[in-house]
Structure 1
Amino acid sequence: MKKNIFLYLFVFTALICLYLSVSGSNMADENMGKIKKLKEQVATLKDSVQQSNLKVMDMQYFSLENNDDALAYYEHLNLNDPTAYITDKLLETNEQKSDNPLIPYEGMEGDFKINKIKVLNHKWILTDFSDGKYWGELLIKYELKDDLGIDFTLVDHLLYTRSN
């Protein structure tokens, strides 16, 4: 009887070991499949990030921050961030109660104000303006003087027409 109990105990233990071995092997295979899938996703995401970085670099080609030749014009002024300074000065033209004086149109739904600004180089700025319903764009020439004053001159403009 005692012999049978040890035999049953040995067989039962062997079955548990076999079950744990097969179960562990299946779990390891499943985890390896998940790891492989995640590695593929990481590779895809790295490619996507790299493509996005290339697009951003391409979009920043025309910007004062990335144009060393244009920035050289402002080295003697000791400005930490010429783009921010120029942008702030241009936004100050929005502070009037009526339409922005650089915008050659009268607001139809409100006053036209400059919204977005892209300082292209040491001479030109591209802006977006809107009155809340209608919008357009401006090409502005500017001159930053040694006394940190700025003269803005409208070069060209357009107002988008609404098509209903």
Structure 2
Amino acid sequence: MKKIILYLFILSLLFNIFQYMNSTKILKTQSKEIESCEAKIKAVRDSSNIVYNQMIDANYFSLEMDDESLEYFENYSIPELTEQIRNELLALNDAPNGNKLVPYDPIDGNKFIINKFKILNHRWIIADVYSGTLRGEILIKYFINDGKPTDFETIQAILHQPRKPAQ
């Protein structure tokens, strides 16, 4: 009986040593995985912060970020106002000779239209214009009239030289 107890004791001791070694190995592996995941999370957070800061910088000149413009339009819904301006600007593209805000005549039968635009503040808009092969930008001054169409006036326009095809 003493031998059985001794064998059981030795067997339980060996089993405990095996469990301890195995648990230690698993713990080290999991610790390395956790450290690796924490490093990846930190890298993603850093990248996210960089992108966020770049977005903030890119939107510095925008109606939504301009406190003075927001105060000027305090009685308006900015999303609705932006949609109104968008619709009125793009409706001007439907004219037979192109958008009247673009001070260039059609070239090779292609009229100039506004592609994209950004409302910079409560007075200015910058817009990308396109005519099939040529593109440029225009700076537009605008004024919101209650119950009437928005007044637009081109301040400055620039037309870019066509790009030469890559050889």
In structure 1, distance between residues paired with 2:71 and 2:10: 85
Corresponding residue for residue 89 of structure 1: 88
Q: 1-side partners of 2:23 and 2:108: how far apart? A: 72
Structure 1 residue matching 2:36: 3-state secondary structure? helix
Q: CA offset at residue 147 of structure 1? A: 2.7
Aligned to 2:20: 21
Query: For residues 109 and 97 of structure 1, do their structure 2 counterparts lie closer, same or farther at Cα, with a shift above 3 Å needed?
Result: closer
Q: Which amino acid aligns with 1:130?
A: Y
Q: Name the counterpart of 1:163.
A: 164
The residue that corresponds to 2:36 in the other structure is 37
Report the secondary structure of 1:158's partner residue: strand
**Residues 149 and 42 of structure 1, relative CA distance in 2, 3 Å threshold:** same
Q: What amino acid maps onto 2:140 in structure 1?
A: I
Identity %: 31
Structure 1 residue runs without a partner (length 5+): none
| Stretches (4+) displaced over 6 A | none
* Cα 1:108–1:24 shift into 2, 3 Å: farther
Question: Any residues of structure 2 matched to 1:4-15 within 5 Å, and which?
Answer: 7=7, 14-15=13-14
Contact 2:92 2:98 in 1 (8 A): no
Q: 1:131 maps to what in 2?
A: 131
CA contact (8 A) 2:138 2:154 kept: yes
2:144 aligns to what? 144
AA partner of residue 31 (structure 1) = Q
Query: Taking structure 2 as the reference length, what is the TM-score of the superposition?
Result: 0.79
Q: Which amino acid aligns with 1:67?
A: D
Q: What is the alpha-carbon distance in structure 1 between the residues aligned to residue 27 and residue 54 of structure 2?
A: 40
RMSD: 2.8
Q: Which moved more, 1:103-112 or 1:126-135?
A: 103-112
The residue type paired with residue 103 of structure 2 is P
TM-score (norm 1): 0.80
**How many equivalent residue pairs?**
162
SS in 2 for 1:125: strand
Which residue does 1:75 correspond to in 2? 74
Q: Distance in 2 between matches of 1:73 and 1:63?
A: 14
